Amino acid sequence: MSRPTDLEPAVRDPKKLRRTAWLLVAIMIIGGILILKAYEKVAIEKSKDTRPSVVHRIAKERDLRIFRQDAKTVDLFDLRGSVWAIHLISLAHPEASQRSFEVMKRLAAAHASTSDFHLVSLIVDPIQPQDAAATLAKASADLGISLPQWWLGTNEAPTLHKFVKNELKTGIFPHLENGRWIFDTSIVLIDRGGHIRRAVVPQKKGGPPFVATFDFDQAASWDEKHVKTGTNLSNQAQLEALLADTVKTLLAEPPELR
């Protein structure tokens, strides 16, 4: 096929090209401004959101089986459908988690008649299997940890410690140091669906909200440094109030299917 002989090259109009270019630039600028405004609106809404933050979900296949103070072997998954608080204790050195334990006792008292709220204390110290029943029975009596509300349990140290680090998302892997067990003493809240939840605190000056772990040793260190909370409460008291509010929020949420 032969090409037409009467074709002429297109004449480019520089003015039209510039207008088109400026139009495209204007569209990009306006679009960018609108996107930034949308992000700003979302950020403002998020900064005021006080719903407890979801950190992780403990699945059934990653559950922990424990030997409990009533000499029964149970799964933590059995608590699914309830709200529960869990922390670690050392029987050899109970003072290590004394602050969080005192908070757990007050939680137990405040929710003594709440059938769908439970507490769990896991013993970080290794216990010989033949001694487990007697040790747990004595410890639960001494510490005032009573069923059915409050579980006291143990497992082989490697299994328990791995669960604590991987599933409870603690900041410290339990380990021995100079003859003492070092571990995260924070209280971890689990909702009805097995999700780890943390308190969300909006910032008065805007910006991303503060996501609070229930670490009462850290709060005590802030009090020692005279860090202000912006309220008339100490850091420890403010954190305990946040914990209480978060528990109430989770209890009010509808149950999830297992």
Query: Quick one: pLDDT at residue 193?
Result: 93
Tens-digit pLDDT profile for residues 165-182: 999 998 899 999 999 999
In whole angstroms, give the CA distance from residue 68 to residue 75: 10
Query: Quick one: pLDDT at residue 189?
Result: 96
Check residue 238 and report its DSSP letter. H
- Please, are residues 122 and 157 in contact by the beta-carbon 8 Å criterion? no
- Please, are residues 189 and 196 in contact by the beta-carbon 8 Å criterion? yes
Tens-digit pLDDT profile for residues 73-94: 999 999 999 999 999 999 999 9
CA neighbours within 13 Å on the CB side: how many for 25?
Answer: 6
In whole angstroms, give the CA distance from residue 61 to residue 77: 9
- Please, are residues 152 and 104 in contact by the beta-carbon 8 Å criterion? no
Query: Quick one: pLDDT at residue 75?
Result: 96
Query: Quick one: pLDDT at residue 93?
Result: 94
Query: Quick one: pLDDT at residue 22?
Result: 77
Q: 74 has which bridge partners?
A: 66
Query: Quick one: pLDDT at residue 90?
Result: 96
Query: Quick one: pLDDT at residue 46?
Result: 46
E strand or H helix at 4: none
pLDDT tens sequence for the chain (258 residues)? 555 555 555 556 677 767 777 777 777 777 766 665 554 444 444 444 467 788 789 988 899 999 999 999 999 999 999 999 999 999 999 999 999 999 999 999 999 999 999 999 999 999 999 999 999 999 999 999 999 999 999 999 999 999 999 999 988 999 999 999 999 999 999 999 999 999 887 766 666 777 889 999 999 999 999 988 778 899 999 999 999 999 999 999 886 643
Q: 181 has which bridge partners?
A: 176
Query: Quick one: pLDDT at residue 50?
Result: 60
Alpha carbon 109 to chain centroid, angstroms:
23
- The CA-atom distances, in angstroms, between 16 and each of 12, 13, 202 are 8, 5, 51
Look up the pTM and report it.
0.78
Q: Which two tokens stand for residue 218?
A: 């850290």
- Please, are residues 179 and 92 in contact by the beta-carbon 8 Å criterion? no
Query: Quick one: pLDDT at residue 155?
Result: 95
